[in-house]
Each structure stands twice: as C-alpha cells, then as structure tokens.
Amino acid sequence: MGKIVAVHSYKGGTGKTLLSTNLAVTLAKKGKKVCLLDLDFRAPSLATLLNIEKTQHWLNDYLNGICEIDKVLIDLSDRIASKEKFFVCPANPSVEAIRDMSSKDRKWEMRALGRILSLRNSLLNDKGFDYIVFDTSPGLQYSSINAIVAADIVIVATTFDSSDVEGTRRMLRELYDLFEKKTEIVLNKVLYVDSVRAGKDKLQAMVKNIYEVPLLGVIPCFCEISRAEGKIIFVHEKPDHPFTKILDEIANKIDKL
Amino acid sequence: MPSQETLESKKPLQVLEKIKENLERLNEKMEVMIELQKHERKEFQTLPSEAPLDVMTLLSMPDHLRKTAMTVCRLGRATAEEIAQQTRRARAVESAYLNQLVIMGYLKKERKGRKAYFYVEKES
C-alpha cells in the first residue's frame, strides 16, 4: 500500500517546492513509482520548474471535475533517466487560472476535498503508485488543508526565522494535531557552521522541545542551490552534493515510517 | 400442509423484525436527544439545514465530531458500524455523533432495508 506525503509550511519561501520535488525524484530513483502534485494554486511552480509548457489538462481541471486524474499525469521519468517512475500533475500557472482558483466557494472546496481523497484509490490502488507527494501553498489555505487531510505524513519545512517558528508551532497544535496527522519537521536554510556545531542530537532535542514532533532532516544553506535558480532537479544533476545525500536520508526515513 | 406452516411461522418473525427495527430507530433518536442535551444545543442554533462539510468547518468542530466527520469523508458512504470500526469507538456512540452531524446539516442519511448509510452530499 502506497503513502501520501504532503509538504507544507507556515510561511512562504521555506523550501517546500525544493523539498517536495527533490524528495519525489529521490524516491523515484530508488525505484518507487512516484507522482508529484502541485497543489499550490496561488503560486504554481512545477510547470516552470519542470519546463512544462503545454499539457492536455492541468490539476485544476481534475479538481474542477472536468477530467479524470490520468489525463493530468505527465510521465517525466526520462528527465531523471528512469522508466515509468516519475510522474507530475502540474497546476495551471496562468493568472486567469490563479484568479479562478482563488475565488472558489466552500461547496467547491468540499468537492475538491472529495476528489483529493479519492486519489488514494485512483493513483495508489489502481495505478500502483508507491508515493503521492503534494507540494502545497503556505499557511492555512483551503488547498493546503485539503492536502493535509488526505495525507498519511505531513512534512513541515521550517527555518529559524522567529515568525516562522511561532507560526509553525501554532499550526502543529491547531491544525495537524486536530487532524491526527503524523508530522515531521525539516529544518531548512540552517547555517552550515551552526548545524555542524550543534550536532544532530542537539538539533533533534531542540526540535522536540520547541515543536514536540520528530526531526526528519536538517538542510544547511547551500549557495549552490540558490545559484541553480530553481531550474534544475538538484538531486539528479548533482548526485555527489551533500544536499543529495541529505535527501537520500530523508527518503529512507519516510520509507520506514 | 407445508405452505400454511411457513406462513404461520414467518408471521411472528416478521413482526419481531419490525419491532426490532423500530426499537433501533427509537434508540437512535434517543441517542441524538441525549447528545443534544449534553451540548446544550449551543452548536445547532444558527446552522442551516444544509451546510458544506469543508476543511474549515472540520477544523472548527469539537474533536469528537471531527473524528466521525473525517471518517465519513474518507469512506465516502458508510454505516455507523463501519465508522465505529475505523474510529475504534462504540457503534452506539458513532450512531449518536452521525445523527448529530445529520441534524447540523453536514451529512445526509439514507435508509436501505435495515441499514442506515451516512454520506456527504456533494451535489448542489
């Protein structure tokens, strides 16, 4: 039975897309059949990041009930030199589509939740996917909470920014806990010297103390990631980079959860 | 004569089943009344007869109802027995919560024979 992983955060710019994309690719490279879904309808990134210019249908169409999910699935396995392992469902990045998705009513959001929940059946059970990875909008947005409700595991990307720490703490208590979700923290943009000096055990204890949930991984601030300008699949292009090794550890941990 | 025999033996059985069915319904109604009293009707006064069960609504619900409502969302359509298996709470408890959610307008209830199914109304 496959798993659904949602990558979420309180604030924007914490590295959700970087984490979700590279996690999906890492899992795919390990031989898992993975589908990455862009649920950030307010600021879609996967279409640009993965150079998807035209598609028959967007994920928006699936949620609007216009088509089924197989019409949205794009096989990008060749990008990571594998076969039938890495699939993507991008969100429509046009301003018109963003406007449309921002003005949905509660009834529509309720139906969207039903359609996201039914992905477990259509993708994991029928199509044999091992993982569904959701990239979400930051904060308390309908599409993100829908993703969290449908997920088995929620990965929260967070930084040491104080408003992010406080917001993440509140979300853990007032959002993930209420839905009884298995939640793990990924500390991102940690200064390399700090992460080395503090050591894993110390950071683990600190996260446990602040958030009362386990620490899944620590990602130091890498200049090479900023330099890549979000244009490459990092773990694929840079197999020997420390970031790739960290993602590999995170993927292994998730596989065991 | 065999035919009369079956007819005679069947009749009391049918009557008993009818009584059992009515008792079950009565029981459900009483459970709802108990629940309503417990929560002093606070939650029900301003609610319309049909309200969308979206995630923000789920978030604002009391914990005990959220668990039941989320399980219905996940299963799509289920009996109190099936919900109870998932939540590991007693069937009678789930039945009360489910009926409460029906009164609040979040769920619909449909009877098929002796079974009652609960589901989220998705059509507008």
Contacts of B52 in chain A (CB under 8 A): 106-107, 109-110
pLDDT in tens, A47-72: 999 999 889 999 999 999 999 999 99
CA–CA distance, A54 with A47 (Å, rounded to integer): 9
A106 neighbourhood in chain B, CB within 8 Å: 52, 54, 56-57
At residue B40, the pLDDT reads 58
Average pLDDT over every residue of A128-146: 96
- Residue A38: pLDDT band (50, 70, 90) is very high
Query: Would the CB atoms of B55 and A109 count as touching at under 8 Å?
Result: yes
Q: Is B41's pLDDT higher than 60? A: no
Residue A200 confidence (pLDDT): 77
Residue A192 at interface with chain B, using a CB cutoff of 8 Å? no
Which residues of B make CB contacts under 8 Å with A? 52-59, 63, 66-67, 70, 73-74, 76, 120, 122, 124
Residue from B47, B50, B55, B121 to probe the interface with A (highest A Cβ count within 10 Å): B55
pLDDT number for residue A232: 85
Which among B33, B95, B38 is positioned nearest to B62, based on CA atoms?
B38
A31-35, A161-165, A202-206: least confidently modelled range: A202-206
A131-140, A219-228, B1-10: the lowest-pLDDT one? B1-10
Segment A100-113 shows an average pLDDT of 94
Residue A137 · residue A43 · CB < 8 Å: yes
CA dist., res. A14 & res. A12, Å (int) = 6
How much of chain A, in percent, has pLDDT values that exceed 70? 98
Contact list in B for residue A110 (CB cut-off 8 A) is 52-54, 120, 122
> In this structure, are residues A50 and A25 in contact, taking their beta carbons and an 8 Å threshold?
no
Identify which has the larger pLDDT, A232 or A31.
A31
**ipTM of this predicted complex?**
0.83
B88 vs A contacts (CB less than 8 Å): none
User: How close is the nearest chain A Cα to the Cα of B93, in Å?
Assistant: 20
Nearest Cα to A144, choosing from A156, A129, A131, A158?
A: A156
pLDDT of residue B24: 82
Distance separating alpha carbons of residues A180 and B69, to the nearest angstrom: 13
Which pairing describes strands A131-135 and A3-8: parallel, antiparallel, or unpaired? parallel
Write down the pLDDT at residue B64.
94
Check residue B6 and give its pLDDT.
57
Taking CA atoms, A29 is separated from A82, A246, B69, in Å, by 7, 14, 38
pLDDT digits 0-9 by tens, B61-91: 999 999 999 999 999 999 999 999 999 999 9
Q: Are A110 and B58 in contact (CB < 8 Å)?
A: no
Q: Residue B7 above 70 pLDDT?
A: no
Calculate the CA B77 to chain-centre distance. 11
Query: Taking CB atoms and an 8 Å limit, are B54 and A109 in contact across chains?
Result: yes
The predicted structure's pLDDT at residue B48: 56
Q: For residue A178, what pLDDT band results from cuts at 50, 70 and 90?
A: very high
**Can you tell me the mean pLDDT for A228-245?**
90
User: What does DSSP assign to residue A29?
Assistant: H
What is the nearest CA distance from A218 to chain B, expressed in angstroms? 30
- Count the alpha carbons within 13 Å of A237 in the hemisphere toward its beta carbon: 10
Distance of CA A194 to the CA centre of its chain: 25
Mean pLDDT of chain B: 83
- The label of the residue with tokens 């806990």 reads A177
DSSP collapsed to 3 states, A147-200: HHHHCCEEEEEECCCHHHHHHHHHHHHHHHCCCCCEEEEEEEEECHHHHHHHHH
Instruction: Using CA coordinates, name the residue in chain A closest to B52.
Output: A107
Which chain B residue shows the shortest CA-CA distance from A118?
A: B74
Confidence (pLDDT) at A97: 96
**Assign residue A13 a region: left if phi > 0, alpha if psi is -120 to 50, beta otherwise?**
left
Question: Would you say A181 and A148 are in contact if contact means Cβ atoms under 8 Å apart?
Answer: yes
The average pLDDT across A10-21 equals 95
Q: Does pLDDT of A199 surpass 80?
A: no
> What does the mean pLDDT of chain A come to?
93
- pLDDT bin (cut points 50, 70, 90) of residue A224 is confident
DSSP A125: I
d(CA A151, CA A102) in angstroms, rounded, equals 22
What is the predicted pLDDT for the residue at B12? 83
| Partner residue opposite A178 with nearest CB, options B66, B73, B120 | B66
Tokens matching residue B72: 């219905």
The whole-angstrom separation of Cα A179 and Cα A248 is: 28
Chain A residues within 8 A of B76 when measuring between CB atoms:
114, 118
Measured CA to CA, the distance from residue A122 to residue A252 in angstroms comes to 25
Q: Do B53 and A110 touch (CB under 8 A)?
A: yes
Report the candidate in B56, B74, B86, B98 with the shortest Cα–Cα distance to residue A174.
Answer: B56
Measure the CA–CA gap between A147 and A138, rounded to whole angstroms: 12
Q: Which long-range contacts (CB under 8 A, 24 or more apart) does B47-53 make?
A: B47/B104, B47/B105, B48/B105, B49/B105, B50/B105, B50/B121, B51/B104, B51/B105, B51/B106, B52/A106, B52/A107, B52/A109, B52/A110, B52/B106, B53/A110, B53/B106, B53/B107, B53/B120
Whole-number percent of chain A with pLDDT over 90: 82
Cβ-contact A111, A65 below 8 angstroms: yes
Q: How far is A145 from chain B (nearest CA, A)?
A: 7
